[in-house]
Structure 1
């Protein structure tokens, strides 16, 4: 039996996904609701990661700690092995998460009222973090055809002409599951160079590639050495470690890196905590077999969802190229977002995410997280069907 068939009870574990549904969906009681919304997995982390944390816990002194060279070497080796990307360890800066890293990058390289461009529908912090720093968000919708997305580079260029200071890339794309090609990334980088735009690449889903798809790091494409690129990576989506709070910024440009280091000093930011660094090193050193099995398991889950949901009148969903997130098109049902969300929650007892959470361009879609045991996916699909009967 696959280790990913094992069901882990996450209720009452301070799990945002399982224990915060009342607040998130404005419910009096969510005890009967199945959560398939926020992007973390219901799988136990690799045993080597748990053992590394336990080993560190055996030492009873939890004073100031630092990220050792062994941890950096594990990161470098992983990206060479999985993505043929050679990262100079001296270019790695640590942070407590990709979203906090995004906040630091925006604060460092832009000023109040500067324009920041994003391609929608897209991950909500791309809206929220810049807005909370009093930056102006400029959206440029991706082109959607039958639930699949691509760039309109002519439209993006017109957007950049408005004086955009920084662009946030999501690769692989959340929520649509698109893995951008090298050619697409090269066009994007060329535009950033032409208009002197910083490129912030959120690459947190890099390891979650579905069959035949290849992740291309933004920093490896033609022209990257002439662009102002900062890449954000992390093991947290890959190995279900979001609560560990660990991420890395890869910044080859010495001047950009010095500015980010100065920002960290200004905020008194320190290295990863003792448990996070142990988890990161163990995950990248020992997690490959676990990940390979995970990817096969997720693929089976996706195939099931595609088969079952596409049999429902008015519903369309394709297998994503990357991530474990399904972007479900319900426009054919004729239901409004309010109507389908009400049906899902009150009749199906199922919590998915409404598409407009990712911008107006997401209207007509739902995001479903299938990173859970197949039995849970089957339950979720049954609840979805019940909601639409």
Structure 2
């Protein structure tokens, strides 16, 4: 059996996706509910990564670890070969995840009451992390046409004029699945430079760009456009290692880098743990072929859902994403409210998707659906969605 077809039970593994739905959805019993919500995959990590972690485990000693230059070389080579971005080892700082890295950047370069800009709908930590640090969230709503998003640069510039300290960019975009164009990214850089705004570019989905599209690292363009950029990348989304916790912050600005280093020291932030370092090293040196196969599976699953679901359920539309394994399902023409469709999905279809307003008010009328799972589960999810939306029998 193809590894991507194997259904592996994740119950009783402390999986947030499979074991925490009662809390997330406020229901008493989620045992019959199929989770297609949080963004991790139901595929096993690549075998080379598993072998590398086993080898580290078999050594038997798990003392203090550090990120060696060979690990940094692996990151640098990966970014060069997959994205044409030439970096240097000394630009890198390691963290326990992209979300903690976002928290560090916001805390380091803003103070309470400062304005942080985001473009909505967008990944919830972009709201939550600065908000919990008592920063003001300024929202610039993306333009949407038939499920395709673009940046409203007139509105974006007006927002930048509100004394913005940091703009958090989702590149590629989650949940919209947009791969921003070079023209759009250059415009972002030009405007943020003009208003002296630091750009934090979350590029955790960079390796999940689908065939026919190409990810452009923002910092790669910044070498020509100028401006202040910190990029966050990680192997965790790409290789299903979220629970292993590893991310990299990259900037060629010496002052920004020094400030991030000082912040790490102030918080007693240690290096990555021994298993994370082993996983990272293997991911970036041994798993190209696995990733290429994964992208084929994701594309096939996306095509299946887009072909089946809108045909079977009147009022449902799905714009094909350019990146990620997440579908942004447009249900506005069904006439249902968010509360009504979530009730149908959870209680009638026994299916857990994410409500669009989790990504801001701009997400109302949409649902996020994770299709990074074996085809048999995807088919089950589509059947449950269809069942949920069938008219009640009188």
**Same fold, TM exceeding 0.5?**
yes
Give the structure 2 partner of residue 111 of structure 1: 111
TM (norm. structure 2) is 0.98
Shift of 1:69: 1.4
Shift of 1:223: 5.5
* Unpaired runs of at least 5, structure 2: none
SS of residue in 2 equivalent to 1:243: coil
SS of residue in 1 equivalent to 2:207: coil
Shift of 1:82: 0.7
Give the structure 1 partner of residue 291 of structure 2: 291
CA offsets, 1:102-131, max 9 Å, x none? 000001100110000000000000000000
Cα RMSD (Å) of the superposition?
0.8
The answer to whether the 8 Å contact 1:329/1:366 transfers is yes
1:4-15 matched pairs, under 5 angstroms:
4-15=4-15
* Unpaired runs of at least 5, structure 1: none
Shift of 1:226: 2.2
Shift of 1:367: 0.1
Shift of 1:314: 0.3
Shift of 1:319: 1.4
- 1:222 to 1:230, Cα distance in 2 relative to 1, 3 A: closer
Query: Is 2:386 the counterpart of 1:385?
Result: yes
The answer to whether the 8 Å contact 2:186/2:225 transfers is no
The answer to whether the 8 Å contact 1:201/1:230 transfers is yes
Give the structure 2 partner of residue 127 of structure 1: 127
The answer to whether the 8 Å contact 1:190/1:223 transfers is no
Give the structure 1 partner of residue 302 of structure 2: 302
1:150-165 matched pairs, under 5 angstroms:
150-165=150-165
Query: Is 2:370 the counterpart of 1:369?
Result: yes
Give the structure 2 partner of residue 37 of structure 1: 37
Query: In structure 2, what is the Cα distance between the partners aligned to 1:224 and 1:127?
Result: 30
Query: In structure 2, what is the Cα distance between the partners aligned to 1:226 and 1:220?
Result: 10
- 1:10 to 1:72, Cα distance in 2 relative to 1, 3 A: same
Give the structure 2 partner of residue 23 of structure 1: 23
Query: In structure 1, what is the Cα distance between the partners aligned to 2:25 and 2:234?
Result: 29
Give the structure 2 partner of residue 82 of structure 1: 82
CA offsets, 1:297-338, max 9 Å, x none? 100000000001121200000210000000000001000000
CA offsets, 1:200-239, max 9 Å, x none? 0000000001111000000011565621100000000000
Give the structure 2 partner of residue 230 of structure 1: 230
SS of residue in 2 equivalent to 1:174: coil
Query: In structure 1, what is the Cα distance between the partners aligned to 2:222 and 2:270?
Result: 34
Give the structure 2 partner of residue 315 of structure 1: 316
Give the structure 2 partner of residue 335 of structure 1: 336
Give the structure 1 partner of residue 327 of structure 2: 326
CA offsets, 1:124-177, max 9 Å, x none? 000000000000000000000011100011110000111111100001100000
Shift of 1:2: 2.5
Shift of 1:355: 0.1
Give the structure 2 partner of residue 259 of structure 1: 259
Query: In structure 2, what is the Cα distance between the partners aligned to 1:205 and 1:154?
Result: 27
- 1:5 to 1:320, Cα distance in 2 relative to 1, 3 A: same
SS of residue in 1 equivalent to 2:208: coil
The answer to whether the 8 Å contact 1:186/1:223 transfers is no
Q: Which runs of 4 or more aligned residues in structure 1 lie more than 6 Å from their structure 2 counterparts after TM superposition?
A: none
TM (norm. structure 1) is 0.99
